[in-house]
A = this chain, B = another copy of it.
Amino acid sequence: LTSPLRPWAIVDSREVFTLAPRVSISVDTVKLPDGRIIEDYCQIRTADHVVIYAETEENLLICLQQYRHGSRRVGLTLPAGNIEADEKPLESAKRELLEETGYGGGLWFDLGKYPVHGSQGVSTSHLFVVKGCAQVAEPNSGDLEEAIVELYTKDYVLTALRRNEFLVLSDAAAIGLAALHVFPPDDPVMK
């Protein structure tokens, strides 16, 4: 993408709050392309994470029923979790899927990566698809949230989206992008 538009310049960045290792807030002084200076543009950092649209060999979607505190309710999510310091996103995705659901194997595809907030950034969601998973262990996530593994047909997933049963924006993004076949359908980039 060539563009006549230019990025902003960061003139200064002051860290104003930290709750290590999860959350930090900085206030940037930025210079816009037209020369204007903005003194207080807030940037938020939390851990980057992976979200996995995982289908079984029977083409069922592997979901978790759980409570998420950011959503303040019980509902459906996709397997997901933070990227640890020494991990590549795909490694995190395989680890989280196994820990949270007990499923492994399959063919993996990359759905892209997106900051969750266009202004404040916050964290980057790395989205993956895996097809043809099989259960190889019992779930054992170690997360604060209790979770129930549930398998759904694509028809039910659509119904659940219409009922707003999915809890987080990244769930909607991964389900939608998987349906759009954003990944090369006959060419898994990662075995």
A-to-B contact residues, CB < 8 Å: 1, 3-8, 16-17, 19, 22-23, 25, 27-28, 30, 32-34, 36, 38, 40-44, 46, 65-77, 80, 112-123, 125, 127, 144, 146, 148, 158, 161-173, 175-184
Oligomeric state, in copies: 2
Q: Which of B23, B46, B69, B148 contacts A5 (CB 8 A)?
A: B148
Chain B: minimal CB distance from A175 (Å): 7
Since A1-B65, A5-B67, A46-B119 are in contact, a sample of 18 more A-B pairs with Cβ atoms closer than 8 Å, ordered by chain A residue number, is A16-B19, A33-B146, A38-B144, A43-B69, A43-B70, A72-B121, A80-B118, A114-B168, A114-B169, A114-B171, A115-B168, A117-B168, A117-B169, A118-B168, A162-B182, A169-B170, A169-B173, A176-B179
Inter-subunit contact B74/A3 (CB<8 Å):
yes
Closest B-chain residue to A167, C-beta based? Answer: B118
CA distance A117 to B124 in the complex (A): 10
Q: Which of B27, B32, B177 contacts A19 (CB 8 A)?
A: B27
Chain B: minimal CB distance from A48 (Å): 12
Inter-subunit contact B173/A180 (CB<8 Å):
no
Q: When A8-B67, A170-B118 are in contact, do A161 and B177 touch as well, CB less than 8 Å? A: yes
Closest B-chain residue to A73, C-beta based? Answer: B7
Closest B-chain residue to A176, C-beta based? Answer: B176
Inter-subunit contact A144/B17 (CB<8 Å):
no
Chain B: minimal CB distance from A112 (Å): 5
Which residues of B are found within 8 Å of A80, using beta-carbon distances? 118
